[in-house]
């Protein structure tokens, strides 16, 4: 069978799951008592869509936060995920919950403000994507009404834009152009009874509220049917009007233009046109208006009309500042006029998005104090400010998205997993001017270098605690702690000023992206013609290009250029330390202390301090071995010399080390697992910082002690048969197979590191 047939069949199934057959009004009422969420008003519906996606735990600015997965754009594989700004988004959801419950802020217009390239445009796309997909689920179904007032009497006026009509034709059904809520068909007192009973049965702190009357288009149909059946003497007038031949409830998929209204920066027209639409004068002549304007002849293409029922977004609001004052009474009065005599109720969550230039416009009369003409507007705006990312992992993820089109949102069970993602190389296929393609590599730590530098430019230097630099602050914000040798200090131990300007300004991701893209397209000799591959961009290439480009970038002021240039040095030092660590670990990879030896040392120290029994393989009790502990501490830890022991017995400095670094960590682990039977052998040795160091890191002293004839000055071209040549071959191979380097980036990185080490080797 042709593959096209399979795809068409899959599409059929997808649409079958999305759409339902139209139902009667009575059937709809029965349905909402089975599933009340489908009757939710706009703010409640938006809140439910966000909450339905669940939450996950993240670390931002060094603190754990619960993040709504909705903002990861899960329905769209993360393509328009909003990275970071979790606290801001949580504040938005909290306000939305208050608005939905009618407790407060129901007169507010939600305002997202922030500098360029902070994720505000992604917010719009994420909201549209999330609402669209939620409306396809059983709990998220959205419903409106459609009308058919055709009649066999050709002389009667029908709800059609000219021409004859028959009741049986599907083409004669006209959907409410503003997604009118089905309950709005009921008389007000009956609707109140329905909602009262529904909310009594609803186990939710946010009751369903439907205050809107029928929209003018639907009211025209309702009035026509009411007049017709009243003339005929119909006893059950409402039943006749809402008979299935005239009224159906149908579900629709929420999207831009149907439940979501988006006013773009380039949209123009008079305020009324942008808000609700315009009269179609040609249609006024065709439709029998009986001396008045007929709402059937209205376009309903304004942003409030399209967004009625769910969400109204004004994008780049500074371009529509004149419109904002027209929106003043919409949130609290929930109505807008098509014309002087024709009004329309609106149920839509209002949201505006802007750069900081809108705030400048709003404050132009601030010096007038109580006479500020914009004061009423500013009072109704509920501002949520997006800032630049201040997390290294998030900025790295964002840069990779910009360069490669990756969309999956990074999630990790531990920071070690994120650290591996941060340092990873990135390989991009580029096309030369002659049409040839090549794979160009950003070496390990290159994207990390760009991300760290961008974050460092965004941090407030004035709020630095004593003893920290901006790189330290960036690491604390990303990890939640700072590892200093054997000591781990949590963010709470540092005195950070929460009123600082972190994320208010700095290098935007667009600048970083453009700089890296230019590096990809630059024909280059990558420092050494003898390398197997020349197309490697090193971390220092990235940092140099980012600093050099500041001078020509119009987005930065002269003060910012000077400030940002001065912040690159600690970033270069940190990135070099990461490269150096990779090279040392690759050299020492096969010389690591095995976990059995480490575990034996920990057991002996624990028994030495606590008098806990220690047993050999035959089950016989043995005493802690002073010699084994001493050899481990001198040879593997490298912390002590022979002078710090009397024979094999430790002096005070060694005893303090054992108690403070080993025993304290074991006791902490025992306390955390106090509900279970604690045993030293059950301890994750990497949970003890000093032991983690032994298992996972080395230094140049370890290299020199292990390879006595090693000489880093010979690294570029070591003589064959020497220990240096053997070490280099093994190191390059390890960097490639285990650390993610290419052969070229491994060569370049190791040469760079050895060039620095050579100066201090003797």
- The predicted-structure confidence for 315-324, as pLDDT tens digits, reads as follows 988 888 888 8
Weakest-pLDDT range from 357-371, 407-421, 454-468, 554-568? 357-371
> Can you tell me the mean pLDDT for 544-568?
93
Q: Could you tell me the pLDDT band of residue 695, with boundaries at 50, 70 and 90?
A: low
The secondary element (H helix, E strand) that includes residue 282 is: helix 281-286
Whether the per-residue pLDDT at 288 is higher than 70: the answer is: no
Report how far apart, in Å, the C-alpha atoms of 228 and of each of 162, 170, 171, 516 are.
Answer: 19, 22, 22, 70
Spatial separation of the C-alpha atoms in residues 180 and 309, rounded to whole Å: 7
Judge whether residue 153 has pLDDT over 60: no
Higher pLDDT, 511 or 622: 511
- Which residues have CB under 8 Å from 554's CB, separation 6+? none
Tell me the HSE value of 267 on the side-chain side, using a 13 A CA sphere. Answer: 24
Residue 569 pLDDT > 70:
yes
pLDDT digits (tens, 9 = 90+) for 325-360: 888 778 878 899 998 889 999 999 999 999 888 877
* Lowest mean pLDDT, pick from 240-244, 688-692, 750-754: 688-692
User: Cα separation of 480 and 490, whole Å?
Assistant: 6
Per-residue pLDDT, 547? 96
Strands (DSSP E) found in 293-436: 311-314, 335-339, 342-345, 349-354, 381-385, 426-431
Q: Please report, for residues 109, 167, 326, the alpha-carbon distance to residue 331 in angstroms, rounded to integers and kept in the order given.
A: 7, 39, 11
Go through the chain and tell me how many residues it has: 762
Residue burial 516-533, b: 16+ Cβ < 10 Å; e: rest: beebbeeeeebeeeebeb
Q: Is 223 helix (H, G, I), strand (E, B) or coil?
A: helix
CA angle 159, 163, 168 (to 5 degrees): 65
Contact status, residue 395 vs residue 507, Cβ threshold 8 Å: no
Q: Give the residues across from 490 on adjacent strands.
A: 481
Lookup: tokens for 223: 């009035």
When pLDDT is cut at 50, 70 and 90, the band that residue 669 belongs to is: low
Q: What is the mean pLDDT of residues 534-543?
A: 89
Distance CA 314, CA 309 (A): 16
Decide which of 157 and 126 is more confident: 126
CA–CA separation, 327 and 275 (whole Å): 8
pLDDT (mean) for 613-623? 76
* Average pLDDT score, the chain: 86
Q: What pLDDT does residue 154 have?
A: 37
Report the pLDDT value the prediction gives residue 14, as an integer from 0 to 100: 53
Which pLDDT value is given to residue 150?
Answer: 81
pLDDT at residue number 8:
53
- Segment 146-175 shows an average pLDDT of 61
Tell me: pLDDT of 739 over 60: yes
- What's the pLDDT at 158? 46
Of 472, 497, 495, give the one whose Cα is nearest residue 484: 472
pLDDT at 5: 57
pTM: 0.83
Helix (H) or strand (E) holding 363: none
Look at residue 616 and give its three-state secondary structure: coil
Mean pLDDT (whole number) for 239-246: 91
Question: Residue 123 corresponds to which tokens in the numbers above?
Answer: 């917010």
Long-range contacts of 595-601 (CB under 8 A, 24+ apart): 595/685, 595/695, 597/632, 597/636, 598/632, 598/636, 598/685, 598/691, 598/694, 598/695, 599/681, 599/685, 600/628, 601/628, 601/629, 601/632, 601/636
715 near 750, Cβ under 8 Å? Answer: yes
- Contacts made by residues 275-284, CB under 8 angstroms, sequence distance 24+: 275/302, 275/303, 275/304, 275/323, 275/326, 275/327, 275/336, 276/300, 276/302, 276/304, 276/305, 276/336, 276/337, 276/338, 276/344, 277/301, 277/302, 277/305, 277/338, 279/338, 279/339, 283/161
- Separation of alpha carbons 50 and 694, rounded Å: 46
**Of 355, 409, 138, 161, residue with least CA distance to 251:** 138
Yes or no: domain 37-155+163-384 corresponds to CATH 3.40.640.10: no
**CA distances for 263 relative to 268, 305, 319, 759, angstroms:** 9, 11, 10, 62
Q: Give me the percent of the chain exceeding a pLDDT of 70.
A: 87
**Top-ranked range on mean pLDDT: pick from 147-156, 448-457, 624-633:** 448-457
Of residues 461, 559, 564, 464, the one with CA closest to residue 507: 564
| Domain boundaries defined on the chain | 37-155+163-384, 392-572, 590-758
Q: Which of 411-420, 578-587, 718-727, 740-749 has the lowest mean pLDDT?
A: 411-420
Query: What is the 8-class DSSP label of residue 192?
Result: H
**CB of 257 closer than 8 Å to CB of 302:** no
Q: Which residues are CB-contacts of 503 (< 8 A; sequence separation ≥ 6)?
A: 387, 388, 389, 390, 458
pLDDT in tens, 1-34: 565 655 455 555 555 556 789 999 999 999 999 9
What does the pLDDT read at residue 559?
Answer: 92
Please count the other Cβ atoms lying within 10 Å of the Cβ belonging to residue 625: 16
The two structure tokens encoding residue 636: 């593997």
Tokens of 314: 């004004």
In this structure, are strands 381-385 and 109-113 parallel, antiparallel, or unpaired?
parallel
């Amino acid at each position: 069978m042709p593959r096209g047939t399979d795809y068409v069949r899959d599409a059929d199934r997808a649409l079958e799951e999305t759409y339902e057959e139209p139902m009667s009004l009575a059937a709809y009422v029965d349905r909402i008592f089975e599933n009340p969420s489908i009757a939710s008003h706009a703010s409640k519906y938006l809140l439910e869509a966000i909450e339905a996606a669940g939450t996950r735990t993240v670390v931002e600015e060094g603190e754990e936060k619960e993040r709504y997965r909705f903002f990861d754009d899960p329905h769209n594989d993360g393509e328009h995920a909003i990275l970071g700004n979790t606290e801001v988004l949580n504040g938005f959801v909290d306000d939305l919950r208050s608005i939905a419950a009618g407790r407060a802020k129901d007169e507010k217009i939600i305002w997202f403000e922030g500098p360029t390239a902070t994720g505000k445009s992604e917010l719009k796309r994420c909201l549209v994507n999330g609402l669209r997909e939620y409306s396809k689920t059983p709990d998220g179904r959205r419903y409106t009404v459609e009308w058919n007032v055709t009649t066999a009497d050709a002389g009667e006026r029908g709800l059609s834009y000219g021409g004859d009509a028959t009741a049986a034709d599907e083409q004669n059904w006209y959907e409410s152009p503003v997604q009118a809520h089905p309950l709005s068909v009921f008389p007000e007192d009956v609707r109140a009874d329905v909602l009262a009973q529904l909310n009594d049965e609803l186990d939710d702190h946010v009751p369903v509220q439907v205050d809107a009357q029928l929209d003018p288009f639907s009211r025209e149909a309702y009035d026509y049917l009411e007049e017709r059946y009243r003339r005929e003497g119909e006893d059950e007038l409402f039943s006749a009007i809402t008979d299935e031949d005239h009224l159906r409830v149908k579900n629709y998929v929420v999207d831009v233009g149907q439940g979501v209204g988006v006013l773009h920066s380039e949209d123009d027209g008079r305020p009324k046109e942008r808000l609700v639409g315009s009269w179609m004068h040609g249609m006024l002549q065709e439709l029998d208006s009986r001396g008045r304007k007929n709402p059937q002849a209205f376009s309903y293409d304004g942003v409030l009309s399209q967004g009625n029922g769910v969400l109204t977004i004004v994008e780049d609001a500074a371009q529509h500042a004149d419109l904002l004052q027209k929106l003043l009474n919409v949130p609290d009065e929930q109505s807008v006029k098509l014309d002087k005599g024709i009004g329309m109720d609106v149920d839509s969550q209002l949201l505006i998005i802007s750069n900081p230039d809108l705030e400048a416009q709003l404050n132009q009369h601030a010096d007038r104090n109580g006479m500020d003409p914009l004061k009423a507007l500013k009072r109704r705006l509920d501002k949520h400010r997006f800032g630049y990312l201040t997390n290294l992992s998030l900025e790295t993820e964002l840069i990779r998205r910009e360069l490669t089109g990756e969309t999956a949102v990074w999630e990790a069970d531990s920071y070690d997993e994120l650290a591996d993602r941060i340092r990873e190389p990135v390989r991009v296929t580029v096309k030369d001017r002659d049409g040839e393609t090549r794979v160009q590599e950003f070496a390990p730590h290159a994207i990390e270098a760009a991300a760290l530098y961008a974050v460092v430019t965004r941090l407030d230097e004035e709020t630095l605690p004593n003893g920290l630099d901006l790189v330290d602050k960036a690491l604390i914000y990303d990890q939640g702690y700072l590892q200093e040798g054997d000591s781990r200090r949590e963010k709470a131990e540092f005195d950070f000023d929460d009123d600082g300007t972190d994320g208010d300004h700095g290098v935007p991701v667009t600048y970083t992206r453009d700089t890296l893209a230019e590096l990809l397209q630059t024909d280059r000799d990558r420092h050494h013609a003898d390398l197997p591959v020349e197309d490697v961009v090193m971390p220092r290439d990235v940092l140099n290009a980012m600093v050099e480009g500041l001078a020509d970038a119009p987005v930065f002021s002269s003060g910012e250029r000077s400030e940002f240039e001065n912040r690159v040095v600690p970033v270069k030092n940190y990135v070099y330390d990461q490269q150096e660590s990779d090279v040392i670990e690759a050299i020492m990879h096969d010389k690591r202390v095995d976990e059995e030896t480490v575990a034996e040392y920990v057991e002996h120290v624990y028994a030495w301090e606590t008098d806990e029994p220690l047993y050999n393989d035959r089950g016989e009790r043995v005493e802690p071995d002073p010699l084994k502990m001493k050899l481990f501490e001198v040879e593997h830890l490298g912390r002590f010399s022979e002078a710090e022991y009397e024979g094999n017995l430790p002096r005070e400095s060694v005893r303090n080390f054992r108690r403070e670094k080993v025993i304290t960590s074991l006791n902490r682990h025992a306390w955390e697992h106090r509900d279970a039977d604690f045993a030293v052998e059950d301890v994750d040795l990497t949970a003890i910082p000093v032991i983690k160091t032994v298992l996972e890191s080395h230094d140049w002293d370890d290299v020199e002690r292990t390879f006595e004839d090693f000489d880093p000055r010979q690294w570029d071209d070591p003589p064959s048969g020497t220990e240096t040549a053997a070490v280099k071959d093994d190191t390059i191979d390890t960097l490639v197979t285990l650390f993610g380097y290419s052969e070229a980036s491994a060569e370049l990185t190791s040469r760079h590191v050895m060039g620095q080490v050579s100066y201090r080797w003797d």
